[in-house]
């Protein structure tokens, strides 16, 4: 299942999200930085990090932990 982590440059919450994804053993995901994209900036603004499932369109917004990520992927 393709995953995207929407994030910003210099975002400490985004750094925490990366650590959580590593702890949850998520092997592959795409990091997309919203800073230079007007459409993504309008959609997510200050609500990053957001984990997005490309197969279903479902999103998991911050805050989340490894258990929440695992449940999100099972849904």
Contact by Cβ (8 Å): 53, 1: yes
Closest CA to 61 of 44, 73, 42: 44
- Per residue in 5-58, pLDDT (tens digit) is 999 999 999 999 999 999 999 989 999 999 999 999 999 999 999 999 999 999
Size of the chain, expressed as the number of residues it contains: 75
Question: Number of H helices and number of E strands within the chain?
Answer: 3, 4
pTM: 0.93
What are the C-alpha distances in Å from 31 to residues 11, 45, 60?
Answer: 13, 16, 14
């Amino acid at each position: 299942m393709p995953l995207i982590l929407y994030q910003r440059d210099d975002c400490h919450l985004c750094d925490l999200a990366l650590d959580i994804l590593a702890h949850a053993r998520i092997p592959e995901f795409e990091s997309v930085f919203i800073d230079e994209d007007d459409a993504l900036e309008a959609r997510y603004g200050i609500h990053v990090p957001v984990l997005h499932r490309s197969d279903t369109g479902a999103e998991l917004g911050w805050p989340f932990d490894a258990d929440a990520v695992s449940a999100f992927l099972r849904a």
